[in-house]
């Protein structure tokens, strides 16, 4: 008889609480571990101090004194983010957030990556923190595609050179594909594509080339497209499409649907 594996033993004990919280949409797995370390999580009335704590079916998990529902089936949504919203649940500066503008009736959602305050376009949202982390992994090599309006004198050779990568103030940026779509006077629309975006990467790289970004719209994140989704609206990705794109055998149906 084969000896039981670690995965088999973990399955028999339940699900690790950090992963459970992530699937419940409370936070990413990494942030769930921080919440546990801050003493904000209880399991059946007892304070959880270790992320290796296991959750069994029918256990009661509480965060900040509120019960957390069993993880629902994994869901993914496309949101057309307008400019002027921050991608966070609470903003210390009191600025309006993405999650305050979502329609009622949606599950608790977290974002896949971020778009900064002045950026627009496709933002993926999910109720599963583990899925959020998976979609953000550089190993996916998924292309993030943007339309960018810029002001300034464009050097096509400098744009083309971005495909070799560039170092700015000691920060190395991976190859970026950038091309001119249209130009009128000193204004132009570019298409920009990259695989692993650092914070404000496009704005910083184009500024380095002497170009001022006046609009930045994400139109694709890997296989998921903004398409004709109108600004401020949300649309759920078909579960079958989600499974096909991620190579999943079947959706998770643990807990409420």
Helix (H, G, I), strand (E, B) or coil at 43: strand
The alpha carbon dihedral of 134, 136, 141, 145 has a sign of: positive
If you write DSSP's letter for every residue of 10-28 in order, what string do you get? Answer: HHHH-EEHHHHHHHTTSS-
Euclidean distance between CA atoms 70 and 68, whole angstroms: 7
For residue 115, what are the β-bridge partners? none
Catalytic one among 31, 116, 155, 186?
A: 116
Give the DSSP letter of residue 71.
Answer: P
Find out whether 103 and 235 touch, Cβ atoms under 8 Å: no
Concerning whether 59 is annotated as a catalytic residue, the answer is: no
Give, in order, the Cα–Cα distances in Å from 127 to each of 51, 72, 131, 159. Answer: 20, 8, 8, 38
- By annotation, the residues acting in catalysis are 116
């Amino acid at each position: 008889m084969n000896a039981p594996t670690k995965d088999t033993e973990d399955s028999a004990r339940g699900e690790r609480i950090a992963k459970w919280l992530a699937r419940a949409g409370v936070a990413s797995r990494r942030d769930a571990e921080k919440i546990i370390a801050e003493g904000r999580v209880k399991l059946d009335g007892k304070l959880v101090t270790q992320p290796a704590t296991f959750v069994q079916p029918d256990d009661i998990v509480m965060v900040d004194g509120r019960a957390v529902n069993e993880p629902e089936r994994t869901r993914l949504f496309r949101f057309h983010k307008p400019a002027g919203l921050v991608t966070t649940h609470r903003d210390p500066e009191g600025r309006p957030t993405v999650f305050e503008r979502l329609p009622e009736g949606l599950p608790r959602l977290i974002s896949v990556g971020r778009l900064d305050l002045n950026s627009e376009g496709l933002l993926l949202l999910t109720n599963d923190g583990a899925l959020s982390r998976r979609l953000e992994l550089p190993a996916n090599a998924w292309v993030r595609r943007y339309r960018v309006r810029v002001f300034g004198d464009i050097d096509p050779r400098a744009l083309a050179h971005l495909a070799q990568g560039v170092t700015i103030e000691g920060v190395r940026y991976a190859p970026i594909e950038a091309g001119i779509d249209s130009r009128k006077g000193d204004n132009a629309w570019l298409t920009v594509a990259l695989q692993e975006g650092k914070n404000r990467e496009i704005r910083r790289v184009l500024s380095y080339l002497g170009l001022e970004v006046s609009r930045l719209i994400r139109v694709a994140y890997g296989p998921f497209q903004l398409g004709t989704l109108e600004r401020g609206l949300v649309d759920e990705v078909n579960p079958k499409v989600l499974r096909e794109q991620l190579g999943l055998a079947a959706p998770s149906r643990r807990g409420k649907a």
